[in-house]
Amino acid sequence: MKQLLIICVFFISFASTIDAQKTLNGVTLPAELSFNDQTLILNGGGIRTKYFFKLYTAGLYLQQKSTDGKAVMAADETMAVRFEITSNMISSSNMSEAINEGFDKSTGGNTTAIRDRIDELLKAFSSEEIEIGDVFDIVYVPDVGTQTYKNGKLKSTLEGLDFKQALFGIWLSGNPIQGDLKKGMLGK
C-alpha cells in the first residue's frame, strides 16, 4: 500500500511539472527559474514574430501568477523574462534597434531619464554576436536592479525600479511590442 502511494505521488508530481512547463516553437520554458535564492514560476509565454519570422520565444517568471500587466510592471519584487533566440534574423545590431523601439513604445517616447541605462543595456546585447539558441534572462531584484544574463553569464546590472518598469513594459505595457506576446506572457 505504501509503495502504491509513493508511485501515485511521483506520477502526480511528474504530471504537474510537465503541465507547468511550456513548449513553444521548439523551446521549452521551464516551470521554474531560480535567481538570487528566489524561485520564480512560469506565468506564461509566447513567441515574438515579425514579418512571419519567429524571432524568439519568451516566458515571464513571477513569484505568483498574475494576468495584470500593469501590476507586474509596477511591482517591486523579484521577477524575470527569459527569451531564447530562434531565428538568424536577429543580430546584435537589429536587437539594439528593437530594444530602442520597445523602450520608445513602453515609455511613450519619454526615455530621457533612463537613456544612460538603456545604452548600458544595449552594450550587454552587442558585446558579442547573437546566435540561434542564445538564452537571455532579464531579472529584476529589488535593491539590486535589473540584471541581464546571456547563456547564464551576467552581462549587466542596472539600478532603478523606473528602469525595470520601462524594460518590462516592452512586453507588458499598454503599448507592447506585440499584443499576442503580451497575452501569452500574462497567461491569457
- For the question of whether the overall pTM of this predicted structure is more than 0.85, the answer is yes
User: 112: which DSSP letter?
Assistant: G
The DSSP 8-state label assigned to residue 161 in this structure reads H
Determine the pLDDT at residue 93.
85
Written as tens digits, the pLDDT of the chain (188 aa) is: 445 433 433 444 444 444 478 998 889 999 999 998 899 999 999 999 998 899 999 999 999 999 999 999 999 999 999 999 999 999 988 899 999 999 999 999 999 999 999 999 999 988 899 999 999 999 999 999 999 999 999 999 999 999 999 999 999 999 999 999 999 999 99
Domains in the chain, number:
1
CATH number at residue 89: 3.50.70.10
The domain of 52 spans 2-185
Other C-beta atoms within 10 Å of 32: how many? Answer: 12
